[in-house]
Structure 1
C-alpha cells in the first residue's frame, strides 16, 4: 500500500486522505471503544520490505499503546535540536526507514444505526490504516488527531484493525522540534459511534463584557447525517440558557456571568442535545483582545508568567498520562505560573481540559517546525514551497477545530522556527478569518501576519529598549510603525539548562515596569532525560549510539526528568509570587500582582526569627486588595518582642502571605509571597589570638596543626586534607556555552587562564604576637596571571581557630572569575549521611543572579540532600550568607562561623570529580567531605541559549576576603 512515506518526487500526500473533517474533542454519550492496551507489533526495515501487515505469520510481538517502540525494546531514541537525523531530500524520507505494523482484533456485536469512526489521537510520524484488509486512509501530522470512517469496513463479530507507522515520513520535514525522535502510536486509539442525526461538531466560545458583566456565546453545531430534522438544543442550566442552534453561527446572550481567567477559572457546564446524542462542553466566558497596543483579558493587561511545555515522560516519552498532566498543571499553579506555550505542537486534549479547569493561559502552537533548513540557507523550506501549502493549512485547521472551545486558549501560534514564506502567511489569513484570537509566530519579525511582537532570548537591555518602543527600526516605515504599536512577548527566554537560569528577577522587573512587555515563557518545563534499565542516571543525546545528535541540549528544563522542581523553578516561583512584600522599619508594604482576582481569600502573618529560629509570630490585618492594589500595614506588634528576644542573636522579621483556605491546586497555608528584613544584627565576634609554635616539621597554633609550608593539616584531632585557596568551580553548562554577543564561553577563558590548574606556592611563614601569617601565591603554567594570598590564622580560647584570607589578583585575569575561596577535606566514612545544620539563606542553593527564593532561617540537611542532582553534573549546592554551620558525622564534627558570613558548599566528592562526570551515576562518594568556603562566585546567566551573566552579577573583584572561625574535633 502506498502511504505518506512513499511520496513520489514532486508530489506530497494530502494529510487527510480518507479522513473525516476535523472537529472538536467532545464528551459524548455515544458508544465508544477504547483500543488502548496491548497490540500485536512487528518492526521491519522499511515500508518497501515490510511483509503483508495482515499476515498472521511469524515476527509478531506485543507492544503497549499508547507508547513508542524505541522505549519498548525496538530501535533506539535519537535527539537532535536543529539538525535532521536524515538527509534533506524533500519530499522523500530516508531509505533507512524502520516501519512498525500494529494490529489488533475487535469483537463488535450488531451495531446501532449510524457511522463508526476510528480515531488516532497521535501517531508518529504517520499512519496508514486498514480494517479487515481494506485500506481506509492515511495521515501525517504526528501531534494532531485524525478520524477515519470505517463503517463500511466493519462487520458483526471479529474485526482486524491494522495500522502501519513509519519512523520517517514527508511530515518529518515539518516536525523538527528539538526533542527526542520517537515513533509509534503514542496517544490513544479509539472507535467512536456516530449516531444518525448526532452531534458531529460543536462550536461554543464564550465572550465577556467587563463593563457590564454580561456573557454571550458564539454557537453553532454540525450534525451527523440522518435522524430527524429537529434542531439541536443548547442548555446551560446554571444560566437558564435554552436555545436552538444549527450550522449557522449564532450569538446567544447569557446574562450576568462570572468570567473565566487564569486566577478565577469559572466554567459552566453546557449540553448540546439531539434526539440521538448529547454532548457536554465546559464554557468559560472571557474576552481576549488587543486594544491600544496591549493584550487584554477581560479588560485587564495580561502578564504571561509562563513556561514552554513539551510533552515528556522519562519512561514513556510523549505518551504522557492524564495523571501526570494533572500533576504538572497543579505544580505550575502552586509555583505561580499562569501560562503555557505548547511547544511546538498542540498538546493532548486532556491537557487543555486541565488548563480550563485549574486556570492556565495557553498559546496553542501548530505542529510545525523546519529548523533544520536553516543549516542549508532555508533552501526548499516547506514554509515557502507551494507544494506544502495545503498540508500546512490543514495542520493549522485541525488544531483550531479541535481546540476552538477551550477558554484557556488565548492565542494561536503558527508554529516555531519554520522560517518565513507564503504558506505561513496563508495559514495566518485563514486563522484570522476563522477565529478572533490573536495570532503569534516568532519567526515573522516584520509582524506582517501576526498580532504580537515576539522574540526569543532577548537580553534584558534589548527588552528594555522594546519596552520603551526604541527597538531598531524595520526597513519599511509602515511595518515598523505597526510593530512598534504591538504588545511584546518573549515566547522563549531564560533557557533553563543545568544550573540556572540566572537573571529571572531582572526580566520580571522589566515586565512590571513597561506595560508593552507582557511577560514571557521560560524555556522549558522539564528535562528530557530518559530512564534506562540498569542505570541510575538519566540519559540524553549521544547515549544511544546516535551518529547525529545534540548531546545534553535536551536537558534544559525547570523540572528534573522525575518532575522534581529544580532550584531554577523554585527561584521562578519566588520571582512570580502574586504578592510582593517589602519590610521596612515598623511597616510592611504589600502589593498585589494578581491580574484578575482580589486578596479576599489570603491570610497575612509575621514571624520574628532569632538566628533563624522562630521566637514570636502573629497575624496581620491587611485590607482586601483589588488586582494591582497595595497597602502599607504597621508592624507595631512585632516591635514589642524585640527587647525580649535573645540579646546576642540576629533578629529577622518575615511577613508572609498565604492561602487562607484550600484551593483546587494547593492546601490552605500555601505561600503566596514573602518579605523579610534584618532588624537587629547579632553580637559581633571578639577575635582572640595566640602565638604560633613553629617547629622544623610542623606548626601549632592552639588546637590547629599546620605543615611547615603553613598548610592547615589538623584541628583538635580532626585531620584536614587538601587545604588551600581555590578559584575553580565545575563549569555549569551556561559557563561552557558562548553567550549571545560574547566572544567566547567564560569556562574557555577560565581554563585559558589556568584557573582549573592553579599551583600554590608558599612565599613566607611567620609567627606574630597574636597570629600565624602565611603568604602564598597561586599561578598556573603558561600564564603570567595569578593571585597573591595572605592567610592570617589565630587561635580562639574555646579551642577554635580563625582564618582571614586576603586574596588579590594580578596579571591578565579573565573578566569574570568562577569563584574565590578556601577549600579543604575531612575524613568521613559515609559522607552522604553526614548532617548539616546551618543559619543563613536557604533552604536551597542560590547564586548572585538567582537568589530571590533564598531567605533567612535555620536549616537542616544531610549531605546527600545538599547536592542538586543535575542530569549533567556541574557546580551546585552553594548556600550564601551562611552565619553559622555545624557539620556532624559519626565520630567527629566541625563548626563554621562566618565573620560575618561566608558562602558554603559541602560535597562528598571533589570539584575535579564533579567536573569530570557526565552523568550523575559517574559520581561516587569518597571517604571524605569536601568543604568550600567562598568569598563569592560568578552568576549563572543563560548562555546555553541566550545572554550570559549580566554585568552586575559577574564576579570580578580586585580583592576578596574569606573570614571564618573553625571549631572541630572528635566527639
Structure 2
C-alpha cells in the first residue's frame, strides 16, 4: 500500500470544506471507546487490507480513543522544545515511521435517518488515511484541527467498519514543532453526524456593540433559508443577511453576558450563544467595546499527566475555574486551537482569547531558517488550509479577540498570505504573530521574554520602526514559570500600567507537562524529557507552568493572582484607598471585609462600607473603628465576591491589602548575665550546650541540635541554572556548594561565648569572616552573627544565613511573619503578615524537578514542636527568613525527581538574612539588580529558647569526637564535606 501521501507538503485530501463547530438537534453518534489497534514500525511493515470487512484483527490489541498510543503501552513519549527528532529534509520523514492502525466496527442506532452524514475527526496526530466500509475517504493533516468526510452514502445499519491508519511522522510534522511531547494517535473526539437535507451547513454570527449608543448590531451569514431567533431580544426568524439593531448588554471577560438563541431551518435547529462586542485598534490601543484592555494572561497547552492531549472535559473546566479564581483574564492557545469545548468555557466564564493556528517550525532556527516552509511556495496551501480550519471552526466565539498565525515559524510569504486571508475573511478581529518582527502583516506588536528595560523602551515608544511605534504592544510570552519563580512579575505589571499601549502579556505557561510514572517502589512521580530514553530531548524544560501536572497551583499562581488582582487596596491619608483596575466593571459585585490582628491574633472584624468604584477610578474610605493593640497591629481588607459567579462562590477573595496600624515593639533581647560554664568538653551558657573545641551549639535545653553556622548555598532553581552565564554555574565555580569552616578562635568569656571562623571554598582565596557572639539569660540564648567578606568575591550569593538541624520529631511549625506560602525577594507579593501553622512536610513545594523551595519570609518568631509539644522557639531582631526540611540542600541539589528525596532523621533548618532573587532566566531576563544578593558586611541576630514539657525526653549531651566533626559523606552520589551539611551523631 503506497504511503507517498505521508510526505506530500500539501494539505490532506478528501475532506469537506471547513465550517463552524456546532451541535444541533440532528442525530449524532460518538465513536469514542475501545478500538482494535496494531502498531507497526513503518508504513511498509503495516498490514495490507485493513479496510476490508473480512480483515482479521483478532490478534491485535486494543486502544482507547480518544488517546495516544504512547501512553497506552505502545512506543514511548518524547519531548523536544526546538529540535526535530528526525533528520531535517522537508518534506521527507524517516522510513522508521511508527504507524498505528485503528479499527472500529459499529452499528447505527435504531432510527438513524437515511440522509447525508459526516464523519468528524477533531484531532489526529500527525497524519491519517481513513476508510469506511472498504472505501477510502481521504487523508488528514493538521493534527489539532478538524477534518470531516461525507459518509452518508456508505453507511449501513450493522457492522460498519471504520479503519484509520495513523502515521507518527509526516510532512505535517515539520509544521508542528511546538514545545510539547511528541504523542501520536486519534486524541480528540470522533463523531458521526447526521446532516439533514435542508439543514444548517454553516453559519457566521455578527454581534457588534457600539459603546457610544449602547446598541448592538446582530446579523447572520448563512445559506438562503437559514434563520436566527433570539427570544430574549425579541428576535424571531431573522433571515441571513439582514442586520438588526438592539439595546443589549455587551460581552467582556469581566461580564460575559451571553444571549441564547437558535440558528434554524425547518430541518435542523442549532443552539447558539451570542456575545456582543467590538474589537478595534484605535489610537495605537487595542480596545474592546471602546475600552483599553490589559491582558493578564497565560499560555495554555492541553495536557493531562496520564492522557496527554486527550484531555477529558472536566480538566478543561478545572483549568478555566482555576484561572478565574486567580485573576487570569486571558489565554493564548499555544500553539494550536484547543478542543472547542475550552472555547465554550471561555465564552461562558469570561476569558479574552488569542486563538492560535496549529503551526510552528521552530527547529529550522537551528539551521539558520534554511528550508523553512514559511517562505517556501510548496507549503503555501498547507499554511492557508490550517488557518482556514482554525478561523472557520472558531469564528462564532465572542471570547476570541485576536487570531494568531502560529508561533516561532520565522517569517515569509506564506505567513503574509495567511494574514491577508484572515483579515479579509474576518475583519472584526486583529491578527497577531510574534515572528513578524517588522510588523509588516500583523496588527499588534508582539514580543517574547523582553526584559523590563526593553518593555520600558517600547512603552516610551523609543523605537526607530514607525510601524511598531504605532501599534499596541503585547508580551505573548513572558515570566517563564519554570520551577521556583518567576520573579519580577510586579515590575512588569507596573510597566503595563505606566504605558497605555503596553497592554499586558501571557505568562509562559499554565501547566507543567509532567507525565505520571512510578518508580521501582511504586511511588508516583512526574516524568519529563529524557525519562523515556529519548536520544534527543530538552529535559525538564517542559515543566514550566503556574500549575503542577496534577493541577495543584504552584506558589507562582498565588503570586500571579496577587500581582494582577483587579482591585488594589492600600493606605491613604483618609484611611483605606480602593483602586479599581478592572477593564470594564465597577466594584458592585464585591464586598469589602476587614480583620484586625494584634501580633497575628484576630481581635476585631467587620465589613467596610465602600461606595461603587468605577473602572479606572479610586476611592478613599475611613478606617474602621479599631481596638488598641498590645503588639503589632495590622489591618487586612479583603475584596470578596458578593454572590455566586459560576466560577467561584460568595466570599471568594479577589483581592486583599494590608495596612500597618500599630508598629511592632522593639524585640527584647536576652539579658546578658548567665555565666559560661565548662564541663567535660562542653561549654554551657544558659539553656545552650556547646562543643568546647568548635564552639558549635549541640543542645538547647536538653534538645539535641546541630549548629547553627554560616550557610551560603541553595539547591539551584531552574532560573538559577538558566541564561547564557547561569548564576548556578558561577556559584559552583566559586565553590559555594562546598564551603569549609575553619575555627580561628573559641573565646569563652565570663558571660559570653565568641566563636570566630573563616568560611571559604577550597582552592580559592576569598571567604567570609564570621563571628558568632552568644549570650544568655535563664532560658533564652541570644546569637549575633557578624559577617565580613574577605578577599574579592567573584559572584553573587545564593543565600546569606545560618543552617542548623533539630530532631526530626519537631515536625509542627508555627510562625508569625509573612505567609502562608513561600516567598522570595522578587516574588513575595502573595505573602501577607499573620500567624500561620503548618508542618515541615507541608512547607515543601514539590517542584517536579527538585530545587530551592519553601522559604517563609519576615518571621518575627518561629516555633518547631513535636506532637507532645516539646520543641524550640526562635525570635528575630527584628525578622528572619526560614526553611525547614527533612533533607539537606545537598540532597535537594542532587535529586532529579521528587521520589529521590528521602526524609531523614532530622529537620534541617535555614535561618536567613536574605536570599538572591529568582528572576526568570530559565527563558528570559535574570534577577533585577535590586534583588541580587552580594557579599557584604552584614549582621543577623536571633534568640533561641527551648520548649520543654513535663515528661518530654531530655537527652544527655556528649561532646563530638574529632572524627565526627570532620567527617565527609555522600548524598545521592554527590560528595560533600562537613562544611555543607549538619552532621548528626550520638
Compare 717-726 and 79-88 and name the one that shifted more. 717-726
Aligned partner of 1:12 in structure 2 is 9
Q: How has the CA–CA distance of structure 1 residues 5 and 698 changed in structure 2, closer, same or farther, with 3 Å as cutoff?
A: farther
**SS of equivalent residue, structure 2 residue 434:** coil
Which residue does 2:608 correspond to in 1?
A: 620
Rate the CA distance shift 1:43–1:453 in 2: closer, same or farther, 3 A. Answer: same
Which residue is equivalent to 2:980?
none
Q: Distance in 2 between matches of 1:388 and 1:97?
A: 22
TM-score (norm 2): 0.93
Equivalent of 2:462 in 450, 470, 482: 470
Q: Does structure 2 conserve the Cα–Cα contact (< 8 Å) formed by 1:869 and 1:920?
A: yes
Q: 1:398 is paired with a residue of what secondary structure?
A: helix
Partner residue, 1:879: 856
SS of residue in 1 equivalent to 2:208:
strand
Instruction: List structure 1 segments (4+ residues) > 6 angstroms apart after TM superposition.
Output: none
Say which of 673, 687, 691 aligns to 1:703: 687
**More deviation, 385-394/717-726:** 717-726
Shift of the alpha carbon at 1:50? 0.2
Which residue is equivalent to 1:677? 659
Separation in 2, partners of 1:279, 1:863 = 55
Moved more, 299-308 or 700-709: 700-709
CA offsets 1:440-498 (integer angstroms, 9 cap, x no match): 00000100010000000000010001000013x2xxxxxx2121110000000000000
Q: What is aligned with 2:161? A: 160
Q: Is 1:315 the equivalent of 2:309?
A: no
Q: Does 1:439 align with 2:439?
A: no
Secondary structure of 1:295's counterpart equals strand
Could you say what secondary structure the match of 1:673 adopts? Answer: strand
Q: Secondary structure at the residue paired with 1:76? A: coil
Q: Which residue in the other structure is 2:230 paired with?
A: 236
Give the one of 717, 729, 752 matched to 2:714: 729
User: 1:421 maps to which residue?
Assistant: 412
Deviation at 1:726, TM superposition (A): 0.7
What's the TM-score once normalised by structure 1's chain length? 0.95
Find the aligned partners of 2:827 and 2:485 in 1 and give their Cα distance: 8
In the alignment of these two chains, the number of paired residues is 936
SS in 2 for 1:160: strand
Give the match for residue 123 of structure 2: 122
Q: Secondary structure at the match of 2:243?
A: strand
User: How far apart are 1:401 and its partner, in Å?
Assistant: 0.2
Corresponding residue to 1:858 among 832, 835, 843: 835
1:774 partnered with 2:751: no
Cα distance in 2 for residues equivalent to 1:654 and 1:244:
53
* CA separation of 1:318 and 1:636: change in aligned 2, threshold 3 A: closer
- Asked if 2 retains the 8 angstrom alpha-carbon contact of 1:584 and 1:677, the reply is no
Are 1:87 and 2:81 an aligned pair?
no
Once the two structures are TM-superposed, the CA of residue 694 in structure 1 deviates from its matched residue by: 4.3
Residues 310 and 343 of structure 1 are in contact (CA less than 8 Å); yes or no, is this contact kept in structure 2? yes
- How large is the Cα RMSD of the aligned pairs? 1.4
Q: Which residue of 2 aligns with 1:359?
A: 350
CA deviation digits over 1:128-158, x for unaligned, max 9? 1001111111110000011001122222322
Instruction: Map 1:624-635 onto structure 2 (within 5 A).
Output: 624-635=612-623
Give the structure 1 partner of residue 787 of structure 2. 807
Which residue of 830, 834, 844 maps to 1:867?
Answer: 844
Q: State how far apart, in whole Å, the 2-side matches of 1:859 and 1:243 are.
A: 61
Partner-residue secondary structure (3-state), 2:879: strand
**What is the match of residue 499 of structure 1?**
484
CA distance in 2, matches of 1:245, 1:27: 20
Q: Find 1:455's aligned residue among 444, 447, 452.
A: 447
Compute the displacement of 1:605 (Å): 2.3
Contact 2:100-2:185 at 8 Å conserved across structures: yes
Q: Which residue of 1 aligns with 2:316?
A: 325
Show the counterpart of 1:796.
Answer: 777
- Equivalent residue, structure 1, for 2:959: none
Q: In the TM superposition, what are the counterparts of 1:752-771 in structure 2 within 5 Å?
A: 752-771=733-752
**Is the counterpart of residue 824 in structure 1 residue 825 in structure 2?**
no
1:722 and 1:170 map into 2 onto residues whose CA distance is: 62
Decide whether the 8 Å contact of 2:685 with 2:776 is kept in 1.
yes
The answer on whether the counterparts of 1:525 and 1:557 sit within 8 Å (CA) in structure 2 is yes
Give CA-to-partner distance per residue, 1:411-440, whole Å, 9 cap, x none: 000000001110000000101100020000
Change (3 A) 1:467 1:840: same
* Aligned counterpart, 1:745: 726
Alpha-carbon contact 1:4-1:170 (below 8 Å) kept: no
Residues in 1 aligned to 2:691 and 2:228: alpha-carbon distance in whole angstroms = 88
SS at match of 1:750: helix
Q: CA offsets per residue over residues 538-575 of structure 1, 9 Å max, x none?
A: 10000000011000000000000000000011100001
Alignment pair present for 1:691 and 2:668: no
The separation in 2 between residues aligned to 1:103 and 1:617, in whole angstroms, is 65
Please report how far the alpha carbon of residue 812 of structure 1 lies from its aligned counterpart in structure 2 after TM superposition. 2.4
Distance of 1:273 and 1:251 partners within structure 2? 15
SS class of match (1:794)? strand
1:53-202 paired onto structure 2 within 5 Å: 53-54=50-51, 55-108=55-108, 111-202=112-203
User: 3-state DSSP class of the match of 2:220?
Assistant: strand
Structure 2 CA distance for partners of 1:218 and 1:431, relative to 1, 3 Å = farther
Report the Cα distance in structure 2 between the residues aligned to 1:335 and 1:280, rounded to whole angstroms: 31
What is the distance in 2 between the residues matched to 1:110 and 1:624? 58
Does residue 666 (structure 1) correspond to residue 644 (structure 2)? The answer is no
Q: Does 1:558 align with 2:546?
A: yes
Secondary structure of the corresponding residue to residue 154 of structure 2:
coil
- The residue number in structure 1 matching 2:509 is 524
- In 1, the alpha carbon distance for the partners of 2:565 and 2:238 equals 45
Residues 148-178 of structure 1: per-residue CA shift (max 9 Å, x gap) = 0112222232210011111111100000000
- The 2-side partners of 1:348 and 1:629 are apart by 38
Alpha-carbon separation, structure 2, partners of 1:209 and 1:194: 37
User: Which range moves more in the overlay, 212-221 or 283-292?
Assistant: 212-221
Find the counterpart in structure 1 of residue 697 from structure 2: 712
Deviations 1:676-724, CA, capped at 9 Å, x for gaps: 1222233331431133234572211112111122111111111112531
* 1:619-659 deviation per Cα after TM superposition (whole angstroms, max 9, x unaligned): 11111011111101111512xx12xx3x2x21111122111
8 Å CA contact 1:691, 1:767 repeated in 2: no
Secondary structure of the 1:603 match is strand
Aligned counterparts of 1:869 and 1:509: Cα–Cα separation in 2: 30
Partners of 2:264 and 2:572 in 1: CA distance: 60
Give deviations 1:165-216, integer Å, cap 9, x for gaps: 1111110000000000001010010100111111010101310000011111
The answer as to whether partners of 2:227 and 2:238 remain within 8 angstroms in 1 is yes
Paired residue secondary structure (2:552):
coil
What's the offset of the Cα at 1:660? 1.3
- Residues of 2 paired with 1:636 and 1:259: CA distance? 37
8 A contact 1:5–1:93 mirrored in 2: no
The answer on whether the counterparts of 2:578 and 2:613 sit within 8 Å (CA) in structure 1 is no
CA distance in 2, matches of 1:4, 1:267: 47
Q: Secondary structure at the match of 1:152?
A: helix
Deviation at 1:14, TM superposition (A): 2.7
The answer for the alignment partner of 1:476 in structure 2 is none
Supply the distance in 2 between the matched residues of 1:589 and 1:963 (Cα, whole angstroms).
36
Cα separation, partners in 2 of 1:123 and 1:682, compared to 1, 3 Å: same
The answer as to 2:939 corresponding to 1:961 is yes
Match of 1:227 in 2: none
* Structure 1: tracts of 5 or more residues without a match: 224-230, 474-479
User: Contact between 1:239 and 1:254, CA under 8 Å: does it hold in 2?
Assistant: no
**Deviating more after overlay: 777-786 vs 529-538:** 529-538
SS in 2 for 1:266: coil
Alpha-carbon distance between aligned partners in 1 of 2:403 and 2:294, rounded to the nearest angstrom:
17
Q: Is the Cα contact below 8 Å between 1:567 and 1:845 reproduced in 2? A: yes
Shift of 1:252: 1.4
Counterpart Cα distance in 1 of 2:112 and 2:318: 38
Alignment-derived partner of residue 512 in structure 1: 497
CA-to-aligned-CA distance 1:311-337 (integer Å, 9 cap, x gap): 000110001111111111011001001
The range that moved more, 406-415 or 693-702, is: 693-702
C-alpha separation in 2, matches of 1:681 and 1:957: 30
